[in-house]
Structure 1
């Protein structure tokens, strides 16, 4: 039997990645290749070990090195025990104490036998269709295979990152086509174009709360615009690993950022963030997404600025819902550094008593009230910058080495000004 028919699910192989490098990956699923003349021709979904799931992809047989096969049910501990037994047997040849040798071999054999019994149970469980008892494993199992590999939104075709629970008729398609106006989804381009001709929506739903040049921000109530919000969440989930709602959207507000083409008045969705209407922790963002064609253009930090501006107008001290993703953490830390350093630099210059001094005292609550950033995020940011000489707990006051502020602010890697500033005058008074 040829090797190309012996791909073992859940096994590990060396796989040739899209970067033309070999990397160990686990084969998670298989499916027929769409539009292939032979329905028996399969493609395989691989998860690259040690890499973020966004890099998981469907591959063909020619990308797999079958000589690198690793048994998915072989326990490393049992492998080690077998290796120890081999060493023992070799050394026993020169061991004159036969009784000691036999006792050691018997003990090792019992350990291996117990290990094999455990492995047999694991094999039976792994090969059955039963789902793990834990919710975490249930979620990972449910979302580990990304069926939709690309999605078209407006003029942009985007490679997806993660699984999204679209209904089965759509969720198992390789390609998805989304109306840029109402966000309804289709399996074919022709069906999408036919829908667009009949789509009655001209502008996005909800209230426009901000507009400057070619950027517009809309607030959408999940309860009032339920179908639109659900479609938005399903689309966003293709680019978020966790922390997103799918269908229970009533308790959320969504803030959608659009680029406007003034020539034909078309609205192109750039990204969005959501937040709970009522949050005990004053979370001003539940999840945030900037779609791939618009990343690294400053839109993420722009949405973060918007979230804190809204918190300020609501007279609350805000924070993002935690834990943050890796990309979210980088964006927030960059924003916090810039915002807090701006305040510190201004304070040092305004307070003449501290001019020329090596240290100055800053009240963290004052910074928090001015920026709407909570105290814990302010203190962690200052700590990462090594700007905390000491902290006076009773007065919420920190001691800052003033002479280091200017040095840090001149470091473009540490203090990056947002590429797209917000203009408070551009907020529409309805909010």
Structure 2
């Protein structure tokens, strides 16, 4: 074994890790003792309510970027100390991540629209056939190379309840290492942090504070330079750490709270003990800086190999999402199982997984000689049979004939795959199974499983 491979067995010693900040779910927090300027403002407003120009639920036009205007809906409103009013708006046909507080001077009443001109029959037919032309479908989402949110998509009723409860972002920015990142969604931080414009995180142990000065004081006391847990993968400057949700409870809870700021429908915040977290980092002389992570259950009856995945915004479109998906399937292979992500998948999650499944299956078909069955494809790829079937059907490589499914390989699809494989890629961002040193959870010593 090479010195580099041997070094992967190291553990983050508990004595070297600083004590994590102890947080509790919001309903357990002693919020009655927290003095909050926002609460005082609400009490003052109850005595002398402000005279708002616009109502909650009202549809308006809002000044957008580059002197454009967009239709929006007022979600919430507030009065500032200087007497001015601000409105929290959601832009029509846009993702909730773009919701924001705007000043009253950016809003204007919507003008009556001109009567609709009757389209010809061909135009009406084309409109019905193309969902992109129908406002009910919203705007087509932009293509992306990253899987931002995979599992945890909610059903329609739960989704509406979730959006009503989390409609207003409570944290506007986070500082993580060298990055200041604008947040996208609400996250259930403890009450004493809910009206904090910016939160400051220690990127190595996920301790968070309210000010830059407090973070500097904390960093002087901390000697952490990487996530807690075991380093299971290293390739150049890329390392992956496995963090046990039970052993590093607060780290994983804080990581989930951070992730919720960028995932709309994530619902795992505090119940992290049954999960393992795989944190992908970029390493330099200052330490191992987190860029992405995914979580998976220690024991999954349904053979799920991924529960939640996030690439932090500054690191998206670099191939890290695909890296983590490949890692999750390699873990399934070592467990002797065919894995799959938790269901249901989000729309973007399905797109990302379909791309990965197609790449893996076409690589096998490109190199395999002789007949091959769906079951063999599943065994070779560690992809569950129903995912293999749906991917091959989407590629038009499978037909139903005489009561059974038959593979019909298209030379054009294989040629396109070869061309795609020859494209530019980042070697370090491509997952290399030979660099992984990992033991399946069920094969670990009983004492280790008991402690976790």
Give me the TM-score of the superposition, normalised by structure 2: 0.71
- Judge conservation of contact 1:148–1:173 (CA < 8 Å) in 2: yes
Shift of 1:315: 0.7
Aligned CA distance change for structure 1 residues 238 and 69 (closer, same or farther; 3 Å): farther
SS at match of 2:408: strand
**Match in the other structure for 1:152:** 175
CA distance in structure 1 between the partners assigned to 2:401 and 2:194 by the alignment: 53
Q: Which runs of 5+ in 2 are unaligned?
A: 1-50, 114-156, 441-452
Match for residue 432 of structure 2?
A: 423
- C-alpha change, 1:51 and 1:57, in structure 2 (3 Å) is same
Aligned partner of 2:151 in structure 1 is none
Q: Matched residues in 2 for 1:345 and 1:399: separation?
A: 13
Q: How much does 1:421 deviate?
A: 2.0
What's the secondary structure of 1:340's corresponding residue?
Answer: helix
> What do the CA deviations read for 1:178-198 (whole angstroms, capped 9, x no partner)?
111211111211111111111
Given the superposition, is the C-alpha separation of residues 19 and 250 from structure 1 closer, same or farther in structure 2, using an over 3 Å criterion?
farther
Kept in 2: contact 1:338–1:417 (CA 8 A) = no
Does the 8 Å contact 2:171/2:183 carry over to 1? yes
Instruction: Report the Cα offset of residue 169 of structure 1.
Output: 1.7
Cα 1:193–1:19, aligned 2, differ >3 Å: closer, same or farther? Answer: farther
CA distance in 1, matches of 2:331, 2:373: 23
SS in 2 for 1:369: helix
What is the CA distance between 1:268 and its match in structure 2?
Answer: 0.9
Name the counterpart of 2:347: 326
Deviates more, 1:179-188 or 1:296-305: 179-188
- Cα shift at 1:20: 4.2
Looking at structure 2, the residues matched to 421 and 392 of structure 1 have their Cα atoms a distance apart, in angstroms, of: 41
Cα distance 1:7–1:314, how it changes in 2: closer, same or farther (>3 A)?
Answer: same
SS of equivalent residue, structure 1 residue 31: strand
Q: Which residue of 2 aligns with 1:7?
A: 54
2:309 to 270, 288, 299: 288
Indicate the residue corresponding to 1:141 in structure 2: 164
Q: Deviations over 1:245-294 (max 9, x none)?
A: 00111111111001001x33x12110100111222221111110000000
In the alignment, the residues of structure 2 paired with residue 217 and residue 290 of structure 1 have an alpha-carbon distance, to the nearest angstrom, of: 13
Structure 1 residue 232 displacement after superposition: 0.4
When residues 427 and 393 of structure 1 are mapped into structure 2, their CA distance, relative to the original with a 3 A threshold, is farther
Larger radius of gyration: 1
Counterpart in the other structure of 1:31: 78
Q: Which residue of 2 aligns with 1:372?
A: 382
Structure 1 vs Structure 2 CA RMSD? 2.6
Count of residue pairs brought into register by the alignment = 347
Q: In the aligned structure 2, how far is the partner of 1:237 from the partner of 1:197?
A: 28
1:41 aligns with 2:84: yes
Q: Which runs of 5+ in 1 are unaligned?
A: 71-133, 352-360
User: 2:412 maps to which residue?
Assistant: 404
Q: What is aligned with 2:128?
A: none
**TM-score normalised per structure 1:** 0.75
